Chains A and B, each alone.
Chain A
Amino acid sequence: MSLKCRKCHQPAVVNMRQHKLALCEAHYLEWLPAQTQRTIEKYHMFTREDKILVAVSGGKDSLSVWDILLQLGYHADGLTLQLGIDEGIRYSEQSHAYIEKFIRDFYPQAVLHTVDVKAAYGAALPEIAARDDRAGERPCAVCGLIKRHEMNRLAYELGDTVLVTGHNLDDEASVLWGNLFHWQIEALVRQSPVLPADRPGLARKVKPLCRFYERDMAAYALLRGIEYVYDECPFSVNASTLRNKLTLNEMEQEQPGTKMQFYAGFLTARERGLFTLPEAEQVPLAPCARCGQPTSAHGLCAFCKLWDHR
């Protein structure tokens, strides 16, 4: 006998074992945006008066979160970074094509801001990664540095009050796993559904999808008809986040709900004050001498130093 939708008893198409909840297509496509709204309200992420900038990559999570926010009536523009990743599959080009298709298919009036990293700074990610690989930097670390800097810069320049990313629960659990395993205390203190704008030059960053499994986000995109880039970034092949996800998913297969308990438990512990640093240990930030973004480094921030090496 097939599972029935909890709401209408029609055949279910999504079964979320971590919630003990099965839904049909129509009710799933209602449920997920409604739950996203609950997350937004629970963590006071933003209101309808805020100007929101959504970081979109062409992947299922970023396109879905943009879709959900627009459906919910929020003022949300998109921001994409062209990192120039080809590696034989034209990865960046493919990704951008999916963003454009999404806009054409669903929101022709949507505004998309694009930063071409090579045009703006003189080199694409593969070139920077190759240079820094020799110096010991991993492509993912360089990519993350570029993305965070540029997202912040655009949000500031455009006067956006909030930056949204499509991080899902699997992403957060994977990072949490790595932070705990290696006891990255400062990273544990910082990890949150909301990163406040507590310094001049920093935009508030929020993750409205942080309570959804990656599998459920893939189901949303498929059912909604959002086409997205399936390929993993060619530079992410040995990334620790992917290895962590595989480990967590093995545990999830044995015990459904494991990932949810792990991450939700962390959030509860956080709310109870478990992950704090004494004020004396908090790293002071000052504006970068070149770009003005807050940095713990003396003089230039890590992003500006990246281009100085060339």
Chain B
Amino acid sequence: MIKVTYRDKHWEVPGRRTVRDVILAVDLNPATVLAVRRGKLVLDSELLDEEDEIKLIAVISGG
């Protein structure tokens, strides 16, 4: 399962899929987040493995 973190939320998403698909699977908009894997920025088109963990960072900040 791909482990996904966003703010204080955590999900596990099954299967090998792209970062974009994972973002959509957790009901987020890819235009509003960046994905980081093992401390590195990854593209939306990157294919993730079952053991991968990604952190989604909201790009809308401040106020």
Contact = CB atoms under 8 A, between A and B. Distances in A.
B18 to A, nearest CB: 11
A176 to B, nearest CB: 16
Main secondary structure of the interface of A (DSSP, over half): helix
Interface residues of B, number: 20
Contacts of B13: none
Interface in B1-46: 29-32, 34, 36, 40-46
Contact of B57 (A15, A230, A242, A246): A230
Contacts of A232: 60-63
Interface in A198-247: 214-215, 217-219, 222-223, 228-236, 239, 242, 245-246
Interface string A170-195: 10000000000000000000000000
A252 interface: yes
Contacts of A252: 31
Interface string A60-85: 11000000000000000000000000
Give the size category of A's interface with B.
Answer: 35 or more
B32 to A, nearest CB: 5
Contacts of A15: 43-45
Main secondary structure of the interface of B (DSSP, over half): mixed
B45 A250 contact: no
A216 B57 CA distance: 12
A228 B36 CA distance: 16
Given A228-B61, A232-B60, A235-B63, A215 B43 contact: no
A59 B61 contact: yes
Contacts of B60: 170, 214, 232, 242, 245
Contacts of A267: none
A230 B62 CA distance: 7
A304 interface: no
Contact of B59 (A14, A214, A223, A236): A214
Name the residue in B32, B40, B46, B63 with the highest tally of chain A Cβ atoms < 10 Å from its Cβ.
B63
A2 interface: yes
Given A3-B45, A215-B34, 12 more contacts: A12-B43, A13-B43, A25-B41, A57-B62, A59-B62, A218-B61, A222-B36, A232-B60, A232-B62, A233-B63, A234-B63, A250-B29
